[in-house]
Structure 1
Amino acid sequence: LIAAENLDPARQEMEVNYFGSLRMSRAFAPVLKENGGAIINVLSVASLGNFPVLGSYSASKAALHSMTQGIRAELAAQGTRVFGVFPGPIQTDMAENFDMEKSPPAMIAEGTLDSVERGEEDIFIDPMAVQFRKDYFADAKAQEKELSAFLPGSGA
């Protein structure tokens, strides 16, 4: 975040992950009020704890997480459910260079729909996400320190 040469990539991530989702939610809220349905925002475990090697991405997903909570409250009166999905790494181009287990997109999609049917508002499907949630709610500060150890030169 601090060492970045310019803020353009961070602005783009906020534009896509936060403002894009906000615009979509605003556009579809009246339609959902009339016809029913739900909003599903794809967040990330990085929205709960900042992964310093993906600092601005984590920040943009944290903003989306907060927005998801806000629109969940705002749209409850009209009967629109709002869900947040918190996956770990998924087998996509974005994660291809990460040396860790990644979940197939179909697994995340199927698990999300199953969770929506059960009414789970905060959805953790893949093994990393399930463990991340457990660790985060057990001791968020310890998890923050563990994540910071992935930053090159952290000394950890």
Structure 2
Amino acid sequence: MITLNKKAKGKRQKGDEERQRCAARCLPVFAFCLLPFACLFAPSACAVDALQDPTRPPADLSQGNAGALVPSGPQLQSVRISARQRSAIISGQRVKVGDKLGDARVVMITENEVVLKGGSGLQTLKLFPDVGKRIILRSQHPEY
């Protein structure tokens, strides 16, 4: 059996102590570097899940809540106006002026609404039905 002399033992102990100090310093840095990958192992703990897609429809529409008011009939979803033509998406179907939508015909498309003419008369579909425009006179608001 080979025995180490005191000098070799001292160097070995010094080396062991240096490795322990290095491990104590490097371990927190290593753990911090792994932090971005935590979502792969525990996705429910990630703050990224809290971010929502701004183009996604509201949860009320996708879940079909029984208590929520669901509009009956056609619903205007989008309007597209270009130099050549005007079109709209109504209940998932793309229409242009003159096209038929069920029993009605598309009469007019503006930036905020579509007018349909059917057997029951004219029907106006608004892009933002809860928003109304008002004209405010300067005399009512002098700060403008």
TM value normalised by structure 2: 0.20
| Structure with greater contact order relative to length (CA < 8 Å, sep ≥ 6) | 1
**Larger CA Rg, structure 1 vs 2:** 2
Report which of the two has the higher share of strand: 2
TM value normalised by structure 1: 0.19
